[in-house]
Chains A and B, each alone.
Chain A
Amino acid sequence: MSTVDETAEEGFAINPARVGVYLTLGALVVFFLAPIETGVVTSLKTPDAVSTTSPLVPSVEGFTLDNYATAVSELLPGMVNSLLYAVPATILSALLGSFAAYGLTLTDWRGQIGVLLLFVAGIFIPYQAVLVPLTQFFTVLGLSDLAIWSLLGIDNAYSGIVELIVTHTAYGIPICTILFRSYYKGVSEEMLESARLDGATVRRAYRRIVFPLSTPMFAVVLIYQFTQVWNDLLFALVLVQAESSAAAPVTLILAGLGASQSGTIFGLRMAGAFVAALPTLAVYVLFGEEFAKGVAT
């Protein structure tokens, strides 16, 4: 903002107000990174070093990679499981959200706002209010009893993955719809209208014009939604339940990791936290801009 342009004009003169601004920014960096820094440092220490050295300072004698070795071996199956449902669920809810936003924004019929309100409200509903019926629904559906699991020789616990795909897709649609809608509101109506006048059907206008235009928003939505689904614990907990299940997602396993009989092994917990966070951290580092956009909308 143009409130503080003085530094630029005055060249390199030290302005106390500017120093204050940068000191504040620095303090904030410390605040936001301290828990992560101590996590990194601790994840590389033996249990002895954890209790005897300062939590913010790396230890040379107490250096170890064992925590990561254990964390990876414990969490790797969970990460595969998480990917198995996070990827399909993300793509499905982004596609369906784009469809819904298109049908509710760039087409012409009355009652759109009414339907839209139901989508928006769906974002804010506390999931606790649907958990019992959700588990009932899948119990009645009985996916785990299907013959296909034994036919394919797959553990029928993987029916939990299918349930998680359906669940995350359904509950992801409202937010994806709203993200796409905010984008479609800015799409030029003249272009669509002239296409429609030239005889393009609603479907054709989507395929030829709207979908290609949506690419940047798809990036935003896919990134946002993948992070949400990967990070979720609640649905995994009630649908897969046991962290010992073959289909247990990474968040479920991490929640139980390190809480051993003899107390909490922090080095292992921290290593586990970083391993579990790896995909979302990678996405964040690579696509920070898109993530910020998804968050802000």
Chain B
Amino acid sequence: MSFLRIDNVTKSYGSLEVLHRVDIDVEEGEFLVLVGPSGCGKSTLLNMIAGLEEISSGEMSIKGKVMNGVHPSKRNIAMVFQSYALYPNMTVAQNITFGLEMHHVPKPERDAAMNRVADMLQIRPLLARKPGQLSGGQRQRVAMGRALVRNPDVFLFDEPLSNLDAKLRVDMRTEIKKLHQRLGTTIVYVTHDQIEAMTLSTRIAVMNGGYIQQLGTPKEIYDNPANIFVASFMGSPSMNLLPAKLKRNGSSAAVEITDSEGQPIVLPLLDGLSVDGGDDGAEVIVGIRPEALTDPDGADRNARNIVAIRNRIDVTEPAGSDTFVTTVMAGGDVVGRMRADAAVVPGQVCDFAINMDKVVLFDPVSELRIR
């Protein structure tokens, strides 16, 4: 029996179904991230776990107890909101203990719990202040303190970092991860930022259009995307998707694209392709991550199948740690990621190494992965 079970859950507003048959099992101590573009239903799903939105059909249970129709305060959950939702008229201390007070916890215990949390988050000097007197990062901490003090079964985070500036966001990300490692609590976290999803989670559910597109570990999602949506949504810069032709010869297979001069390049697939992967000459979409298209010296030494090609570089974008290059393949712009010191000049033809281990194929019609 899993800790948090979402079984065949749907959400509709009138006749409009916005979440379609969602199934997720979360084990105790997991950090599940729901990620997707806005309007994909991730926040709705989180609100349903919290009990702020009704479940239209299906079942949701925490620790084996069915939670459909149970009031939010009786689910033993805590939530951190995007706007932090700190009560403006109360001090930080009152904000943190409000939930305990509502649950009739005696004052000495409330204070003990508050002190524990205040020390953990280092917000002790802020306890007497009002939320209006705090910076964004401090508010974020207080909001987390308010969630932590309840000792809930499940923590729910609704885009908690999206109101912070870039540097603070990275710091708080690490902080949240540390907190999870230390406390080992179960967390469901909603974000539209795929980097947050990758760095924080133990598992990711990529959502789009009210469907779970793929559920898996960050590595699975990144290396083995189930469809074109997942492939292009996860990763920055996003995966290059090129139209290509499938070449089959007995048990071996390859895909053919064109280089910047319109000449064909053949990319052999080391592990071949299953029978239903398409016939010889079929149209496919080849997905190449920017880091799989790099300079020969920067290529992964453990890769089993590297194809060397030469291609013209149109634009270089030195980013400090890497240099991103734009080149043309299969008639479209393709982004490659090279070492920072790679000697590349715009307009010149350079050597590239394509790590075929990381290349994935998709069906152009169904947009699903071909293996």
Q: Do A and B bind each other?
A: no
